[in-house]
Structure 1
Amino acid sequence: MSKPAFGPILYFAIAFALSLYFMFAAVQGDFGLFRRAEILAEADTMRAQLAQVRAEVAQMDNLTQRLSDDYLDLDLLDERARTVLGMVRADEIVIR
């Protein structure tokens, strides 16, 4: 009577299972291809937000500089005062 040869079959099954596990981890794991695509998309979104915030900061810097002691833009000062205080001159007509 000969013994069944399960050694090579068992070895092949374990090797196949491990290769499937590592392929799955390489594609869908925490450091896999899908996660990398998500991170790249997130980075693009954040770059767009950064550009928008930088534009807003530049606009605020411009307004701050125009209302500083060194350079005073009287038109901007008048506009801001009217907006904040909600007042008009006596010779103006307001249409709403």
Structure 2
Amino acid sequence: MSRPPLAPVVYSSAMVLLAVYFMFAAVQGDYGLFRRAEVEAEERALQEQLATLEAEVAKMENLTHRLSDDYLDLDLLDERARDVLGYIRSDELIIR
């Protein structure tokens, strides 16, 4: 009785192990599917943060423009002076 050749068994086993390794790397590796999902979630969070910051910058630019020498909004100036300096007019009532 002769033994079957060992080379095809070793070759097949090596190919199966190599395929399993590449499948694992494709799913959980540094560039795998799970990492991609994490990066996309992080991207969405950063996009939301960027939109919030851009809205805040636009608001501040508007306020700055309204207080500039070229365009002075007296109501805004009055509001800011009251808020920052704590001023009130003599005919106003303060309700706490």
The TM-score with structure 1 as length reference comes to: 0.92
Q: Which moved more, 1:10-19 or 1:38-47?
A: 38-47
2 CA distance for matches of 1:56 and 1:36? 30
> 2:49 aligns to what?
49
Q: Which runs of 5+ in 1 are unaligned?
A: none
Q: Which runs of 5+ in 2 are unaligned?
A: none
Letter in 1 for 2:24: F
> 1:95 aligns to what?
95
Structure 1 residue 54, shift from structure 2 partner: 0.8
Deviations 1:22-52 (A, max 9, x none): 0000011000111111111211111111111
For the aligned residue pairs, the C-alpha RMSD in angstroms reads: 1.3
1 CA distance for matches of 2:3 and 2:37? 51
Identity among equivalent pairs (%): 64
> 1:20 aligns to what?
20
> 2:78 aligns to what?
78
